[in-house]
A and B are shown apart, each in its own frame.
Chain A
Amino acid sequence: MGKAALFVLLAAGAGALRAEITPDRLLRAQSDQSTWLMYSKNYSGWRYSPLTQINATNVSRLVPSWQFQSGVAGKFESSPLVFDAMMYFTAPTNHAYALDLASGHQIWHYAKALPPGVSICCGQVNRGFAALGNTLFKVNLEATLVAMDAKTGGVVWETTIDDVKKGYSATVAPLVVKNKVIVGVAGAEYGVRGFVDAYDAETGKRAWRFWTVAGPDDPGGKTWDGESWQRGGGSIWVTGTYDPDTNLTYWGTGNPGPDWNGDDRTGDNLYTDSVVGLDVDTGQLKWHFQMTPHDVHDWDAISDPILVDTAVNGRLVKALVQANRNGHFYLIDRVAGSFLYAKPYTNVTWSDGFDDRGRPFAIPAQAPAAEGIKSCPAVGGGHNWQATTYSVQTGWYYFPTTEGCQTYYKNRQEFREGLLFTGSTGSPIPLEPTSGAIVAMDPATGAIKWKYALVSPATSGLVSSAGGLVFAGTREGHFIALDAKSGKVLWKYQTGATVIAPPITYLFNGRQYVAVESGSTMMTFSLPEWESPGSPGGVR
């Protein structure tokens, strides 16, 4: 470890800037080209970089820079952080790494054995770190929140979020706002009652909790039958956003439980499948908007709740945009939580239009049935959790999709602690495979500007840049750069494994890099050395 620390000092001496990550620095994260300080780069969730060194003109010459093979099995869904000449990323099954940004060499490796009895529906995944001061924060699968020293990976504190015996687990990348670390829990497939928690970054002590499933005495409590709220789901598994002007933090909530059988929860099931606006200091609910009342298709509203100021019908609106799993794109007023409009972006058969408050007209005959019913989108939704991006340059919103339908079954199922509690499931339709797309949309109108078709459902998240680019990965292992204006593929690289994680981009020693995980490998790309200004090789 001594050698590694010396290396960091040398790197710092070589010109890398070391500065503590303050709340103020997080507020200005968007303008800092050399870092990636939080899950989506900025509090608005844009995942957009102002960098232009790699651009639509030269991206065809992009080449691999370094690769780091972790050797950890499982799905890599982590969005890395970059600062202080280091890259920090998390890996499945409670692993995490710090890599030297110049070489990709490992500086430290954190690993914690997964205790028995953790119920996990969809892979032992983790979606990344948050940072404040000299501390990194991540959740562990067994529903704990860990603070670790960014220099060593040593644990500063570890707090239990909730009890794994009740079905809780955790996969989300935390969001740091002011002195708080905000996280949520997974487990809606195991009968949990979901929540968003905030913890004091110094001590790990819980500051507030917002239940995503209203209790019987809460407002919204009457939207649940009997005791069904106790197993109501509403997981939090994708990072929220924050607007310092409203002082609200915005989080998308997951599906009600059991997923595909709503017989014992006949109401709207608040606040599942919703976006909630919470006072960041108190956790108090300021507003909610429910995309799918009384969901029976598993339409989590967990897609990044991106904050965009846009003109709708000539009026400037502080909006929140989301390509929802239910197949519709939503524009919500993020100050009042009111509905502006929604439009389908893929084939939708489970509902037909909206009332003027944005409530969808669900079609009863499209609900899951014992003998199975074909309904669209497919079980994973039109767009699932894969990171989306808003390009300041084009003013457009980009998201990956799954195109197609599935057969939905419904079963009667008694709840048993620690067991999958889904009320059956869906299955693919033979001879009707699903496909995918990358979609560019004007958030002001919902007009689809272009759609790049993929042979398989989209697996990875996106990043956009002022270089006029959108980067994406595919199930078949390609990492591609699309022209943000036209959707044309300008560059591709076969990484050799499915790309699931969201890419990021940053400047290091004058050179722009794009980083993404493929399989269990962290890969970075840059332009060939000779044409990168400021690189050690000089400039032509």
Chain B
Amino acid sequence: MKALILFAIMVAAAAAQAPKTNPLAQDPKAAEEGRVAFRGSCSLCHGIKGEGGRGPDLTVSAYATGTSDADLYNVIANGVPGTEMAGFASRFESDDIWRLVSFVRSIAGSSSSRVAGNVGNGERLFWGKGQCGQCHMVNGRGKRMGPELTQVGRRRSAAYLRESVVNPEADITPGFAMITVVTKDGKKIVGTQRGYDDFSVQLMDASENYYSFQKSDVASITQEYKSLMPNTLGRLFSESELNDLVAYMASLRGERR
């Protein structure tokens, strides 16, 4: 027990000692070393150059979770609760995290993705012409089969949002694979995944019906990395309407109205 208490004190002391500014800010090699680590651990979501994708665009110069060195360090170390951003404190030493901060600083302001549309018109298109609320929810409005979008503007880059509208199968939000269940009496149920393991599946269909099946109780279960979203939206909207729609989604940052 004594050892445990000592351990707890040491952990607390280590946490308290984390500096508020990047101690490696003057190290010319830090950003390059951070880039190496970034490729391996961050690029899947934030893009190989930090341009964003499944995760936010880091080439902007201000971030939803705070912009100070300490904010960036904290996000990398501890993640962002309630989002797909995991903490990396168990994987990286403190200096490694500061190198990642250095890398993020080195690309800040290089953003090429501008959001030029009209947010208000985009909102009308979202709920009206696009019928996006039939599957997506924003601030409690809409339906639940597709991913919840209240904070999507801080979680996804604008380029990624545009791609998702025009080509929904370019990427599938983790956990939202398409599931097709055929019951033993031949009934076919299609929806998005809510759970999936070696013995059971859970899914939600377009009418927001929630299903849970044991694999042994049904004729077949198919998991496909396909989107149930219509792939016709790129043709439905004009270029200017697309800009507006993306601008609206990029504006969804989780603030309460």
A residues touching B (Cβ–Cβ < 8 Å)?
Answer: 74, 93, 109-114, 116, 119, 121, 123-124, 372, 409, 411, 413-414, 416, 418-420, 422, 424-428, 430-433, 454-455, 474, 476-478, 480, 492
Report whether A409 and B198 are in contact in the complex, using a CB–CB cutoff of 8 Å: no
Q: Which 5 A-B pairs have the closest CB atoms?
A: A425-B40, A476-B197, A111-B3, A113-B7, A431-B225
21 A–B contacts, CB within 8 A, in A order? A110-B3, A113-B10, A372-B48, A409-B39, A411-B36, A414-B29, A418-B93, A419-B96, A420-B96, A424-B36, A425-B39, A425-B40, A427-B39, A428-B44, A430-B54, A430-B171, A431-B225, A474-B198, A477-B197, A478-B199, A492-B198
New contact pairs (5) apart from A416-B33, A419-B95, CB-CB < 8 Å? A119-B93, A427-B39, A433-B225, A476-B197, A478-B197
Report whether A74 and B90 are in contact in the complex, using a CB–CB cutoff of 8 Å: yes
CA distance A428 to B95 in the complex (A): 25
Is B43's beta carbon under 8 Å from chain A?
yes
Which of A418, A432, A476 has the most chain B CB atoms closer than 10 A to its own CB? A476
CA distance A476 to B41 in the complex (A): 23
Q: A406 to nearest B CB, angstroms?
A: 10
List which B198-225 residues lie within 8 A (CB) of chain A. Answer: 198-199, 223, 225
Residues of A within 8 A of B225 (CB): 431-433
Report whether B40 and A419 are in contact in the complex, using a CB–CB cutoff of 8 Å: no
Residues of A within 8 A of B91 (CB): 121
- Nearest-neighbor residue (CB-CB) of B197 within chain A: A476
CA distance A409 to B37 in the complex (A): 11
Report whether B39 and A431 are in contact in the complex, using a CB–CB cutoff of 8 Å: no
Report whether A419 and B90 are in contact in the complex, using a CB–CB cutoff of 8 Å: no
1/0 per position for B27-65, CB-CB distance to A under 8 A? 001000101110111011000100000100000000000
Q: B200 to nearest A CB, angstroms?
A: 9
Q: B52 to nearest A CB, angstroms?
A: 14
Known: A420-B96, A425-B40. A455 touches B3 (CB 8 A): no
Report whether A123 and B29 are in contact in the complex, using a CB–CB cutoff of 8 Å: no
Q: A257 to nearest B CB, angstroms?
A: 14
CA distance A492 to B199 in the complex (A): 9
B residues touching A (Cβ–Cβ < 8 Å)?
Answer: 1, 3-4, 6-7, 10, 14, 29, 33, 35-37, 39-41, 43-44, 48, 54, 90-91, 93, 95-96, 169, 171-172, 196-199, 223, 225
CA distance A283 to B216 in the complex (A): 53
Q: B77 to nearest A CB, angstroms?
A: 15
Residues of A within 8 A of B40 (CB): 409, 422, 424-427
Q: A364 to nearest B CB, angstroms?
A: 21
CA distance A372 to B90 in the complex (A): 26
Residues of B within 8 A of A420 (CB): 36-37, 96
Report whether A455 and B7 are in contact in the complex, using a CB–CB cutoff of 8 Å: no
CA distance A455 to B223 in the complex (A): 10
Residues of A within 8 A of B35 (CB): 411
Which of A93, A112, A411, A474 has the most chain B CB atoms closer than 10 A to its own CB? A411
- Nearest-neighbor residue (CB-CB) of A452 within chain B: B198
- Name the one of A112, A424, A430, A455 contacting B198, with C-beta atoms under 8 angstroms: A455
Q: B120 to nearest A CB, angstroms?
A: 33
Report whether A111 and B198 are in contact in the complex, using a CB–CB cutoff of 8 Å: no
Residues of B within 8 A of A93 (CB): 7
Report whether B39 and A111 are in contact in the complex, using a CB–CB cutoff of 8 Å: no
- Name the one of A113, A419, A428, A454 contacting B6, with C-beta atoms under 8 angstroms: A113
- Nearest-neighbor residue (CB-CB) of B9 within chain A: A113
Residues of B within 8 A of A431 (CB): 169, 171-172, 225
Report whether B33 and A419 are in contact in the complex, using a CB–CB cutoff of 8 Å: yes
Residues of A within 8 A of B37 (CB): 420
- Nearest-neighbor residue (CB-CB) of B224 within chain A: A431
Report whether A413 and B33 are in contact in the complex, using a CB–CB cutoff of 8 Å: yes
- Nearest-neighbor residue (CB-CB) of A72 within chain B: B4
Which of B35, B91, B196, B199 has the most chain A CB atoms closer than 10 A to its own CB? B199
Q: B40 to nearest A CB, angstroms?
A: 3
Known: A113-B10, A419-B95. A413 touches B198 (CB 8 A): no
Which of B1, B39, B198 has the most chain A CB atoms closer than 10 A to its own CB? B198
- Name the one of A74, A112, A418 contacting B3, with C-beta atoms under 8 angstroms: A112
Residues of A within 8 A of B10 (CB): 113
Report whether A478 and B198 are in contact in the complex, using a CB–CB cutoff of 8 Å: yes
Residues of A within 8 A of B196 (CB): 455
Q: A70 to nearest B CB, angstroms?
A: 11
Q: A294 to nearest B CB, angstroms?
A: 21
CA distance A372 to B43 in the complex (A): 11
Q: A122 to nearest B CB, angstroms?
A: 8
Residues of A within 8 A of B14 (CB): 116
Report whether A454 and B36 are in contact in the complex, using a CB–CB cutoff of 8 Å: no
CA distance A119 to B91 in the complex (A): 9
- Nearest-neighbor residue (CB-CB) of A436 within chain B: B198
- Nearest-neighbor residue (CB-CB) of B35 within chain A: A411
Report whether B93 and A427 are in contact in the complex, using a CB–CB cutoff of 8 Å: no
Q: B229 to nearest A CB, angstroms?
A: 14
Residues of A within 8 A of B1 (CB): 109
Report whether A124 and B33 are in contact in the complex, using a CB–CB cutoff of 8 Å: no
Known: A113-B6, A455-B197, A492-B199. A411 touches B44 (CB 8 A): no
Q: B209 to nearest A CB, angstroms?
A: 23
- Nearest-neighbor residue (CB-CB) of A430 within chain B: B171
Residues of A within 8 A of B33 (CB): 413, 416, 419
CA distance A110 to B43 in the complex (A): 40
CA distance A426 to B41 in the complex (A): 9
CA distance A112 to B10 in the complex (A): 11
- Name the one of B7, B93, B198 contacting A476, with C-beta atoms under 8 angstroms: B198
- Nearest-neighbor residue (CB-CB) of B8 within chain A: A113
Report whether A454 and B198 are in contact in the complex, using a CB–CB cutoff of 8 Å: yes
CA distance A109 to B4 in the complex (A): 10
CA distance A482 to B100 in the complex (A): 45
- Nearest-neighbor residue (CB-CB) of B14 within chain A: A116
Known: A111-B3, A116-B14, A431-B172. A474 touches B197 (CB 8 A): yes
- Name the one of A111, A121, A477 contacting B7, with C-beta atoms under 8 angstroms: A111
CA distance A91 to B230 in the complex (A): 49
- Nearest-neighbor residue (CB-CB) of A428 within chain B: B44
Q: B100 to nearest A CB, angstroms?
A: 11
Residues of B within 8 A of A455 (CB): 196-198, 223
Q: A331 to nearest B CB, angstroms?
A: 30
Q: B223 to nearest A CB, angstroms?
A: 8
CA distance A416 to B36 in the complex (A): 13
Q: A132 to nearest B CB, angstroms?
A: 25
Residues of A within 8 A of B197 (CB): 455, 474, 476-478
Report whether A424 and B39 are in contact in the complex, using a CB–CB cutoff of 8 Å: yes
CA distance A432 to B41 in the complex (A): 17
CA distance A418 to B92 in the complex (A): 11
Report whether B4 and A111 are in contact in the complex, using a CB–CB cutoff of 8 Å: yes
CA distance A296 to B169 in the complex (A): 32
- Nearest-neighbor residue (CB-CB) of A379 within chain B: B40
Residues of B within 8 A of A121 (CB): 91
CA distance A416 to B37 in the complex (A): 14
